[in-house]
Structure 1
């Protein structure tokens, strides 16, 4: 895989996930037409809407309202901090995007920040070129024979 594609693909996929979650939020969750339709009948979009809504109004913990999206984002952020892999960093950022868009702002923002910072760090350390220890010159000054 091309180096530039390997470095940009996680970031582009985060943008795609953000667009999809925004579409879910504004076309199903906040749409008054879908809300009226779901009051009168049951359909696939009503089931998806119900699942999405139940995910962010799960309950309160220590007096703080946080849904399942927030808990998933916090778990993904903890995994990204523990395992220094690009997949866990991307997962934390993706869970953070989903949580922020679907009303779990604080844990989502934390997971998004941790995931993005970890992803930048992992990409910087894995894409660095190794130093050739056997090259001639090596930056040392040698006396002329």
Structure 2
């Protein structure tokens, strides 16, 4: 057998192996998962609203489709209730954090930040711009970025 035919057979085998590995990975690739819908629980606009001064440190995290604050001190998820000027930060259509449209301040999920706010013992349904999704609950706190 000539060295030319050995290289030809080796090249053919490598080409077939590459073809089968590409088609197999395409055939068994999982379908792209649907993007999770994220809700930012916000207060209705209120010109008489005052900022809460208690300071909390922690990270924002999406859980059950809502934005929670995981405080550094207690490490427990707190459902964040934001002022009306806050929006999801969504470059390219995917939520990556929270933006205050009145100041331009933003914070991405899983990044440590300082927040003003305070826990609420009652569900402030009449103060919200939309109902809290049923999957979201637990301890709630009014939250805003702190300078």
Q: Shared fold (TM-score greater than 0.5)?
A: no
CA radius of gyration, larger in = 2
TM range, normalised to the smaller chain? under 0.3
Counting strand residues as a fraction of each chain, which structure ranks higher? 2
Relative contact order higher in (CA < 8 Å, ≥ 6 apart): 2
Counting helix residues as a fraction of each chain, which structure ranks higher? 1
Question: What TM-score does the superposition give when structure 1 sets the normalisation length?
Answer: 0.22
